[in-house]
């Protein structure tokens, strides 16, 4: 084996070992557009929608080497309507607990190799032959279970120019009218 091949193999093994050591994390991302432009919402419209994903833990409790994740819940902020000169929003949080791991979510493919030997004679001449065949058995992932827990919704009333932080983003009210609200996500 050449030195460069050995060095590449050692580097690849080091990278894989480091990747296997990353902790299990939950990441939350904003699904609604956050362009910084002024948007408008009517009663019942979702103004902020976040999704959370948690890393699948591997056999040693660290994050999956391939980056696979599982649902960890979501946060939704909905415009309910107006109360005087204030816009009323409702924040709903749902947390999802799961026992999913890389072992429960990975199917198995098991090879099965068979050797067949044939011995005999043809016209007095001894003959022998060997044949090898391989088949595969697919065992699906066993799956996991999960349950969702919803927190008590929180109502938030904001007037013109006021703002609130949700999951690290700022929801700023620009204008309140009797049937709608103009807002910006920062």
Quote the pTM value: 0.71
Report pLDDT digits (tens) over 11-33. 666 655 555 568 888 899 888 88
Closest by CA position to 51, among listed 150, 171, 167 = 167
Residues 6 or more apart in contact with residue 15 via CB below 8 angstroms:
none
Report pLDDT digits (tens) over 86-130. 999 999 999 999 998 888 888 989 999 999 999 988 888 999 999
pLDDT at 34 (0 to 100):
74
């Amino acid at each position: 084996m050449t030195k460069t091949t050995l060095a590449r193999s050692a580097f690849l093994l080091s990278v894989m070992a480091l990747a296997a050591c990353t902790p299990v994390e939950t990441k939350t991302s904003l699904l609604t557009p956050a362009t910084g432009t002024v948007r408008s919402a009517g009663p019942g419209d979702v103004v902020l929608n976040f999704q959370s994903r948690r890393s699948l833990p591997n056999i040693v409790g660290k994050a999956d080497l391939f980056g696979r994740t599982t649902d960890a819940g979501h946060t939704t902020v909905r415009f309910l309507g107006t109360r005087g000169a204030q816009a009323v929003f409702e924040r709903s949080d749902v947390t999802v607990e799961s026992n999913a791991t890389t072992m429960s979510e990975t199917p198995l493919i098991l090879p099965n190799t068979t050797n067949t030997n044939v011995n005999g004679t043809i016209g007095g001449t001894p003959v022998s032959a060997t044949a090898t065949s391989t088949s595969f058995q697919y065992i699906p992932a066993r799956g996991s279970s999960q349950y969702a827990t919803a927190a008590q919704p929180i109502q938030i009333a904001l007037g013109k120019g006021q703002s609130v932080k949700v999951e690290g983003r700022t929801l700023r009210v620009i204008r309140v009218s009797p049937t709608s609200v103009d807002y910006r996500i920062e």
